[in-house]
Structure formats: C-alpha cells, structure tokens
C-alpha cells in the first residue's frame, strides 16, 4: 500500500546525547497510528521530529523522509511554515501554550483558516461552527466569543482538536489529545476522529500513554520505551498477541479491554 509518510533511520540528539536512533516510521493514507509508551519513552520527541518542531538544541536527521511524495529533508523554512497547519497539523498536549490568551477563540480560528485558505469570512465561520459542533460544544457562539482563560482545560483541548480538523490536513499529529477529558468525552472524540478519517481521508498519529485508548481507534500501534521501538504492528496483534514483555506490562495495567473492535 502507498504510504502517506515514510521515514527511515530517524535520529534525534541533544548535543552529544542521542535520545532516538534507528527508528523507522510510516503511515498509510486514511490510517490511524498510535504511538504508545510511558513518560520519557520518546514518543513526543518522535512526533515533533516528524513535523520539524523540536525544541532549541535538538537535532533530527533521517535517511529518508517522504510525505505525500515530497522529500521533507529538502524543505525550506518557508515551505515548512506553509505545510504546517494546512497539510500537517499538530495538536499540542497543553493547548494553553499556543492559544493566544488575549484573542477570542473565533478570531483565532478565522486567522488560522484564512492564512492558509482563500475563502470568505462567512465561509470560514461556517466551517468553524461545523467543526465545533462535531466536538460536542452546545453554545457555539459563546465559545467563539470567549477568550481561552474563560474555558476549562477540557474545553480548550476540544478547541485545539477542532482547530486542527478545520483545516482538513492530510495528516494530524495529536499529542495526548484527550488527557484533560473525562472518559465519556474521550470516547466521543475517538469516534469523531475515526469518522473524520473516513469523511476527509485524513491520517492521524496519536501520541498517548494509554494503550487502552489507543486500542479504541487505531489501525496500528507503535510501542516505545527509552527511545526505541519495542513493537509496531496491527492493533489486533499488539493487543491479542504481544511479542514483548514490556507490551504485556502495559496491557496488564489496563483494567478492562472490551469493545475495541479487535
């Protein structure tokens, strides 16, 4: 099957310290892949290296790095800026870190959309309202008129997810996208992600410490530990027939694994 993203031999270093090395990663068109591991396993570093958003002092290299038939290793800074948001979107774990605290939510949506898409303000507003509805907001006008500080952590997380979805990118990378949400809302968001994948042919990379949550929506699961890939296989093989002891430990930490389509 043709790959949307294919990277070979990813290496990430901070000065003389190598934190990721020799990792191969790929994702198909319309696929959901979860990267699972405990804190410090390297899953966020891997995700951020894909979109060239590592912190200062970090250096990432790869043998090959292709996204939708383009060599990411050859992109200029300007080309990266144009690609982020429009073709590859990143949902950060802490939405407060990138939502502007002094600009209303609706205006932030409109600025983001109209910087990448040549559409009218009215069309942009309709797109925003539609995706906010999918995120289970009830008073959408109130949300659009609110400042970030007026929203709860869970509401800001859903706004962040909506801001990524509204651009209809080919790939969305979500770092712990439901960590601030209750179990019912987590399941609702998982359903929306799967529906969005089917409707808009968008692929998702989900970074999570929760193997049970990964099982609810993933096609494949990558298990990481200490900067290395432990296993990378289909959901059913990872959940029902794990090959590594570490994966079995993660599975044993899940109270119940039912109804995950395995």
Which domain CATH number covers 209? 3.40.50.300
**17 bridge partner residues:** 14
Distances (CA, A) of 233 to 25, 100, 183, 258, 260: 11, 38, 26, 19, 16
Question: pTM of the entire structure?
Answer: 0.89
How many domains does one find in the chain? 2
Select from 116, 144, 168 the last residue of a domain.
168
Whether the Cβ atoms of residue 211 and residue 251 lie closer than 8 Å to each other: yes
Its domain, for residue 149, covers 97-168
Specify whether 80 is located in the same domain as 110: no
Final residue belonging to a domain, choices 113, 135, 168: 168
Residue 12 in domain? yes
Is residue 179 domain-shared with residue 51, that is, in the same domain? yes
Contact (CB, 8 A) for 185 and 136:
yes
Q: Is residue 26 part of a domain?
A: yes
Query: What are the pLDDT tens digits along the chain (262 aa)?
Result: 679 999 999 999 998 899 999 899 999 999 999 999 999 999 999 999 999 999 889 999 999 999 999 999 999 999 998 898 889 999 888 877 778 999 999 999 999 898 888 889 999 999 999 999 988 898 999 999 999 999 988 888 889 889 988 888 999 999 988 877 788 888 888 888 888 888 888 999 999 988 988 999 999 999 999 999 999 999 999 999 999 999 999 998 876 554 455 5
Which among 44, 125, 55, 137 has a CA at the least distance from the CA of 91?
44
221 and 118 part of one domain: no
């Amino acid at each position: 099957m043709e790959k949307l993203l294919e990277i070979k031999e990813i290496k990430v270093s901070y000065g003389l310290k190598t934190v990721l090395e020799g990792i191969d990663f790929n994702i198909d068109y319309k696929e959901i892949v979860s990267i699972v591991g405990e804190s410090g396993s390297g899953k966020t570093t891997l995700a951020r290296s894909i979109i060239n958003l590592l912190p200062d002092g970090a250096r990432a290299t790869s043998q090959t790095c292709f996204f939708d038939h383009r060599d990411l290793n050859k992109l200029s800074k300007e080309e990266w800026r144009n690609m982020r948001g429009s073709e590859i979107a990143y949902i950060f774990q802490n939405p407060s870190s990138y939502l502007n605290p002094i600009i209303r939510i609706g205006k932030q949506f409109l600025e983001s959309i109209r910087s990448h898409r040549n559409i009218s303000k009215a069309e942009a507003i309709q797109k925003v309202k539609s995706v906010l509805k999918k995120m289970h907001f009830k008073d959408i006008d109130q949300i659009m008129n609110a400042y970030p500080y007026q929203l709860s952590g869970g509401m800001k997380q859903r706004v962040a997810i909506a801001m990524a979805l509204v651009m209809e990118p080919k790939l969305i990378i979500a770092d712990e996208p439901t960590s601030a949400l209750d179990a019912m809302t987590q399941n609702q968001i998982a359903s929306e992600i799967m529906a969005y994948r089917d409707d808009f042919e968008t692929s998702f990379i989900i970074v999570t410490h929760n193997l049970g949550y990964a099982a609810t929506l993933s096609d494949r699961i990558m298990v990481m530990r200490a900067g290395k890939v432990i296993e990378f296989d289909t959901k059913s093989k990872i959940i029902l027939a794990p090959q590594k002891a570490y994966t079995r430990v993660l599975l044993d930490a899940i109270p119940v694994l039912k109804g995950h389509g395995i």
